[in-house]
């Protein structure tokens, strides 16, 4: 859920639509919507790639993954 929240915040800060984000990420608009909502069908790999494509640092993304896994 932390990764989804980070993605949602990044999209809002950059004022990107799902379609615009999808073009940057190399995915579909529907996948971006699912990622943002924290849909369990979205892979961790896709969330990480999306965050990195949108400018997140490797360190912050790794911290979010570690935090997300520790919460489960």
**Measured distance CA(16)–CA(11) in Å, rounded:** 5
**Measured distance CA(31)–CA(11) in Å, rounded:** 14
The fold for domain 2-70 equals: 434 Repressor (Amino-terminal Domain) (1.10.260)
Tell me the angle at which helices 18-25 and 29-37 cross, rounded to the nearest 10 degrees: 100
This prediction's pTM: 0.82
Under 8 Å between Cβ of 32 and 24 = no
Tens place of pLDDT for every residue, the chain, 72 residues? 889 999 999 999 999 999 999 999 999 999 999 999 999 999 999 999 999 999 999 998 888 888 766 555
The residues spanned by each domain of the chain are 2-70
């Amino acid at each position: 859920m932390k990764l989804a929240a980070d993605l949602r915040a990044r999209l809002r800060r950059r004022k990107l639509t799902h379609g615009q984000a999808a073009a940057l990420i190399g995915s579909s608009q529907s996948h971006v919507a699912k990622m943002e909502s924290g849909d369990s069908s979205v892979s961790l790999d896709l969330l990480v790639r999306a965050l990195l494509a949108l400018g997140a640092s490797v360190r912050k993304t790794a911290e979010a993954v570690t935090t997300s896994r520790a919460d489960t």
